[in-house]
Amino acid sequence: MVIRKEKKSCGQVVEEWKEFVWNPRTHQFMGRTGTSWAFILLFYLVFYGFLTAMFTLTMWVMLQTVSDHTPKYQDRLATPGLMIRPKTENLDVIVNISDTESWDQHVQKLNKFLEPYNDSIQAQKNDVCRPGRYYEQPDNGVLNYPKRACQFNRTQLGDCSGIGDPTHYGYSTGQPCVFIKMNRVINFYAGANQSMNVTCAGKRDEDAENLGSFVMFPANGNIDLMYFPYYGKKFHVNYTQPLVAVKFLNVTPNVEVNVECRINAANIATDDERDKFAGRVAFKLRINKT
């Protein structure tokens, strides 16, 4: 097995490269002549043009298979998740009472978040619905008829509405409000025609002790059926997501408290092992007092 290896000097290598880049004898640039380059570029232009067209066509065909107002498959969203506001990093609600800046960002976020819930806006855009039953709006033959939404007034949030509130949702006094919301899922009849509510508790026993008492708005953490079903953002433009506000009144300061809120509804399981946010939400609460 013999290969005679000719060692090339450095200069030769450079020379070879030079010749590869531009070969003056054959007028080749990078191993191809001008015409050859033209040919190959033209070929790739046509070829890739064709592929782009093909891709576009198949994507277009694919997009024809889905409708504008409901997704084709919703099996992944059988159990809606819960989420809190303010949306904080790692869902840690940390409030340093003395340090205004630590909670001011939360307050800013909440102000912005609750703005659409202002009674005036709600009154202007949304209907007053009959509580306790679903607000169903069948198309009645008119394809994709725009849907109306029910009012959820900010004042319903009581002490947590933040209207004329000098305590800034309680953040300045160490009695913060956390808002619970349930993920929107199109055509989902939450509660299966029975009333449902959100409950919160400390995750472990010591958490429960440290958590202290809290109040919920609307009372009992109720979510009314009239906010369901959701018809999708395209046709249910002014849909207002129902909220439950929890105001923690006397959290033991300087301790991290694990809080878990879950929804009690007939058709929402809250015990999914893999999805920790299915029908529930866990967050940390810490009030730092000096």
Partner 1 sequence: MVGGFSILLWVGAILCWIAYGIEYSNDPSSSLDNVYLGAVLALVVVLTGIFAYYQEAKSTNIMASFSKMIPQQALVIRDAEKKTIPSEQLVVGDIVEIKGGDQIPADIRLLSSQGCKVDNSSLTGESEPQSRSCDFTHDNPLETKNIGFYSTTCLEGTATGMVINTGDRTVIGQIASLASGVGNEKTPIAIEIEHFVHIVAGVAVSLGIIFFIIAVSMKYPVLYSIIFLIGIIVANVPEGLLATVTVTLSLTAKRMAKKNCLVKNLEAVETLGSTSIICSDKTGTLTQNRMTVAHLWFDNQIFMADTSEDHSNQIFDQSSGTWASLSKILTLCNRAEFKPGQESLPIMKKTVVGDASETALLKFSEVILGNVMEIRKRNRKVAEIPFNSTNKFQLSIHETDDPNDRRFLMVMKGAPERILEKCSTIMINGQEQPLDESTAKAFHTAYMELGGLGERVLGFCHLYLPADEFPETYSFDIDTMNFPTSSLCFVGLLSMIDPPRSTVPDAVTKCRSAGIKVIMVTGDHPITAKAIARSVGIISANSETVEDIAKRLNIAVEQVNKWDAKAAVVTGMELKDMSPEQLDELLANHSEIVFARTSPQQKLIIVEGCQRLGAVVAVTGDGVNDSPALKKADIGIAMGIAGSDAAKNAADMVLLDDNFASIVTGVEEGRLIFDNLKKTIAYTLTKNIAELCPFLIYIIVGLPLPIGTITILFIDLGTDIIPSVALAYEKAESDIMNRKPRHKKKDRLVNKPLALYSYLHIGLMQSLGAFVVYFTVYTQAGFRPSTLIGLRLEWEKDDVNDLEDSYGQEWTRYQRQYLEWTGYTAFFVAIMVQQIADLIIRKTRRNSIFQQGLFRNKVIWVGIASQIIIALILSYGLGSITALNFTMLRAQYWFVAVPYAILIWVYDEMRKLFIRLYPGGWWDKNMYY
Query: Which of 80, 86, 202, 221 touches partner 1 (CB under 8 A)?
Result: 80
Shortest Cβ 72–partner 1 spacing (Å): 4
Binding to partner 1, residues 182-201 (CB under 8 A):
183-186
Binding to partner 1, residues 116-175 (CB under 8 A):
none
Shortest Cβ 274–partner 1 spacing (Å): 6
Interface segment toward partner 1; rule CB under 8 A; list 18-26, 146-154, 197-205, 271-279? 271-279
Residue by residue, DSSP assigns the chain as -----PPPPHHHHHHHHHHHHEETTTTEETTEEHHHHHHHHHHHHHHHHHHHHHHHHHHHHHHHTS-SSS-S--GGGSS-BEEEES--GGGEEEEESS-HHHHHHHHHHHHHHHGGG-HHHHHHH-B---TTS------TTSTTPPPP-B---GGGGGGGS-TT-TTTTTTTTT--EEEEEEPP-BT--GGGGS-EEEEEEESSHHHHHHH--EEEESGGGEE-GGG--B--TTT-TT----EEEEEE--PPTTSEEEEEEEEEBTTB----SS-TTBSEEEEEEEEE--
Shortest Cβ 14–partner 1 spacing (Å): 18
Interface segment toward partner 1; rule CB under 8 A; list 117-125, 158-166, 171-179, 232-240? 232-240
Instruction: By CB under 8 A, tell whether 49 contacts partner 1.
Output: no
User: Which of 48/130 has CB closer to partner 1?
Assistant: 48
Shortest Cβ 152–partner 1 spacing (Å): 16
What residue ranges bind partner 1 (CB under 8 A)? 1-4, 36, 39-40, 43-44, 47, 51, 54-55, 58-59, 62-63, 65-66, 69-74, 76-77, 80-83, 87-91, 181, 183-186, 230, 232-234, 236, 239, 272, 274-278, 281
